A = this chain, B = another copy of it.
Amino acid sequence: MLNSPPDPVTLIATMGMRARAAAQTLAATPTATKAQALHAGARAIRASADAILAANADDVARAEDNGLTKAMVDRLTLNPSRLEGIATGLEAVAALPDPVGQVIDASVRPNGLKLARVRVPLGVVGIIFESRPNVTADAGALALMSGNAAILRGGSEATASNAAIHGALVEGLREAGLPEAAIQLVGTTDRAAVGEMLKAQGLIDIIVPRGGKSLVARVQEEARVPVLAHLDGLCHTYIDASADPEMAIKLAVNAKMRRTGICGATETLLIDRAYADPKAPIAALLDAGCELRGDADARALDARVAAANPDDWDTEYLDAICAVGIVDGVDGAMAHIARHSSHHTDAIVAEDAAIAERFLNGVDSAIVMWNASTQFADGGEFGLGAEIGISTGRLHARGPVALEGLTTYKWVVRGAGQARL
């Protein structure tokens, strides 16, 4: 272990205690003050744009020297327009409804006790992410607006960019009179700090990993703190016999090809054996530049479809590749999805409402869709304003998670001296 200060154990313990203290303040901070901090942070980002872009240029140069892939360098790179997007993102979060203090439900008991469940912040949120520096701002803003303190740990390749953006956020906190420890950035880039965050029970209330599969898998394996995570977006689009043919083509192509690298992209197209024109969506995908890997029935429809091997049904391509299977109606589709879905997002294209409802009820995924593109699986598209992640777990929050998912509730009981019999 290096003896240069601080060691990861001390670092995370210290940051955790500072975060816990800040969280107490934040839990009682009015909406307007939190919004003020975010607006001031946005101004600080704009005011220090040159410095942030220069820091980012250093990160990018280092990444290129280190031979990072083009895609990774692209995720890392900021430009004036992306930076303005980060600033307006802060302002957008500031405009979201504050969940803290919302009354979920209330009742009066026969003995006169008045009960209410009131939303309160989770406490301290740890966010572990990879190369995208905008996560520093996005995640910090969502945590702050929901009354939580944040401990952010970004990828080493974005060290300078993250520090520069974090500096602007802290300036915003200071202007609003909020504790600087409300949003902390783990400066050390060694992996031991991540390990300490994952073990920080009592200091960190929830860990949100944002990044590739290996990061998320490591977090889920090691964490003793609860994790809000999704591993895969293995999404399906099923074309039922009752589907409108034009809609089927449009949705199949959009669900797969609009952006192939996002978790809501369809990875497997299922077509009802009874569908009148199964060749059309297959041809449309191929013509759009998508490689198709199909079962024997799908291959019989178009010679350009390659043979799928068993792994293809469980592969999240995140690329212009799609598995195609012919199934026996909605039951066949649901059976396939039950076996292969990652329970992220699955869609049916159908005009028959009864069949669609059967699918919506029977498919056990965080998001189920009828006549819509799986690419809509996104907190922004769902009206949440932003998202800190999409949870494929079943506990606490499921699907896109934004402000509400970063809160819990307390039971508030108001009496008039009732003793229990």
SS class of chain A's interface: helix, strand, loop or mixed?
A: mixed
Residue of B nearest to A360 (CB): B412
Given A27-B364, A205-B394, A395-B206, A420 and B369 touching (CB < 8 A)? no
Q: Which residues of B contact A412 (CB under 8 A)?
A: 360, 368, 370
Instruction: Report A236 CB to chain B, min CB distance, Å.
Output: 14
Given A250-B419, A254-B420, A365 and B410 touching (CB < 8 A)? yes
Interface size class of A (residues with CB under 8 A): 35 or more
State A362–B29 Cα separation when bound (angstroms): 11
Instruction: Report A363 CB to chain B, min CB distance, Å.
Output: 8
Residue of B nearest to A108 (CB): B383
Q: Which of A390-421 contact B (CB under 8 A)?
A: 393-396, 398-400, 408-420
Residue of B nearest to A414 (CB): B370
Residue of B nearest to A115 (CB): B382
B394 touches A109 (CB 8 A): no
A93 at the interface (CB under 8 A from B): no
Q: Which residues of B contact A206 (CB under 8 A)?
A: 394-395
A107 at the interface (CB under 8 A from B): yes
B417 touches A250 (CB 8 A): yes
Interface string of A63-92 (1 = CB under 8 A from B): 000000000000000000000000000000
State A410–B115 Cα separation when bound (angstroms): 27
State A51–B193 Cα separation when bound (angstroms): 59
The stretch of A174-182, A268-276, A371-379 in contact with B is A371-379
B420 touches A375 (CB 8 A): yes
State A373–B418 Cα separation when bound (angstroms): 6
B396 touches A411 (CB 8 A): no
